[in-house]
Amino acid sequence: MAYRRGYMRNTWIVIFTLSFSVFAGAQNLLFNGDFESGTIKGHFANGYPDGWQGWNENGWHHSDSGYTRDSYGIAIWANDTGCIQVVNASEGEQFDVSGEMIYHTTEVLNNKNAILEIEFWDGPDPTGSLLAETQVGVLTPAHSAGTWYTFSDTVTAPSGTTEARIICQTISTGGTSTGKAYWDNISLESENRINSPDYDNNLKVDLLDFAKLAGVWYQTSSLYNLAGPDVIDLEDLEVFLSAWSPSVDPYPGYELVWSDEFDAPGIDTSNWNWEIGDWGWGNNEWQYYTNHSDNSYISDGNLVIVARKDHLGHDYTSARMTTQNKRSFMYGRLEARIKLPAGGQGIWPAFWMLGNNISTIGWPECGETDILEVVNDFTNVYAALHYGSSDPYIHDSNGGSYNPGLDVSDDYHIYAIEWEPTVIRWYFDDVNYYSTSSWWANSAYPAPFNQGFFFILNIAVGGNWPGYPDESTPFPQYMHVDYVRVYQLEP
């Protein structure tokens, strides 16, 4: 990528007049590894500790007096229960893994081990495969109760690795197993991680990224190094300069105003809500929407929405996530990069929007924009607008479809609209397959599509349009969302 040398030279003269603090030491790649920070400090979000995912919900406890290394820790007592955190990794990358474990003096371990483990995988669930695993620490009944033990190891990611998984778990060794174990201060540091200079993932390398690089100048940082595992220095700066691209935008005339790249360890609740229930949602759907981490979670830089069968006491569960009352937008290019689920009879994933005033004037007068819908065999993608009057109720719509000549669930694709005051255009990757300027509402045109709209992502199971699952429909169904981005015209 080209950069403007004269502009950059002046920038560096100013920047190098600054004083940078010097600090040595790698950074923990885990979010909330000490179980004390995060959105919900030391407690639980939807049954799990913040920043982590887990299984067997009855195995969690955030603290016990005398059994936390610092203010908070994590306790597990149910058999074969654990928590997990996933980070990106690459083959040949060396990791230092460490953590502390203890078990209770009265609820002692019996026929059970407590384990700190790292696993290397070549992809996310459900398609990824386990390549290697190392038990960094094993706490057994032979260890002394009430004593903190520190475990550590250095491991190298094998060929094909794309992610590493840190796991704290209890494993039954046979017979009646009891006892409560605790973990604290879990750390994962990379000795030779190489990063992208586009630290904020906005598709350009600019002064915002440089601010992050400058903030760790002469530090050893696994999160920001660009030229090797040593301190951030001129070698890293040279790599940064070679990628400098402050004026490069993927869509000429537009600038990125908001995105969720799903790179954080957990779902960002400043952006997203969960809608919960089994109301049929106006379409006689069969799923029960939950906020359970089995139905929505972050993995390998993706938001993953999962529809499951015979789950949590319901015939079908799924997730329906919205940005209502948190993020809304009017006009611009709005897009998401999505790998759709496998499909089958009765499967109906969607990326869509509703008008902010739905709670006051109702549907369809609030307006609905379906950026992406697919049903059943996933060979066609659908675009639609819904509009009309709520009182009296009159529903009207228009839309189109596109057959790209492939199964759209096989890979990621970009689904987008370009929304202007009197026209909306739909895109599948780079193909503009439908456009319309025709709609109406009780208010004057271009209502209702002249107000803020919020996003919705979901997988519906069954409904009036797709019909209902049968024995041929596979479950679970996984929808991977790489990002959601909003671009608007530059002023």
**Six-digit token pair at 491?**
């002023």
Catalytic residue among 100, 163, 368, 418: 368
CA 419 – CA 446 distance, rounded (Å): 12
**303: which residues sit within 8 A by CB, 6+ positions away?**
260, 262, 267, 296, 297, 321, 457, 480, 481
**Six-digit token pair at 269?**
């609740």
CA 472 – CA 462 distance, rounded (Å): 14
CA 183 – CA 114 distance, rounded (Å): 9
Q: Are strands 94-103 and 112-121 parallel, antiparallel or unpaired?
A: unpaired
Q: What's the Cα-to-Cα distance from 409 to each of 304, 379, 458, 477, rounded to whole Å? A: 14, 9, 15, 11
CA 182 – CA 170 distance, rounded (Å): 10
User: Does residue 420 carry a catalytic annotation?
Assistant: no
Catalytic residue among 36, 163, 373, 418: 373
Contact assessment for residue 430 and residue 413, using Cβ atoms and an 8 Å cutoff: no
CA 478 – CA 362 distance, rounded (Å): 31
DSSP result, 334-398: EEEEEE-----TTEEEEEEEEETTHHHH-TTTT-EEEEEE--TT-S-EEEEEEEEEETTEEEEEE
**403: which residues sit within 8 A by CB, 6+ positions away?**
379, 380
Tokens 């307006």 found at: 367
User: Does residue 261 carry a catalytic annotation?
Assistant: no
Contact assessment for residue 43 and residue 36, using Cβ atoms and an 8 Å cutoff: no
Compute the half-sphere exposure of residue 305: CA atoms within 13 Å on the CB side of its CA. Answer: 29
List active site positions: 368, 373
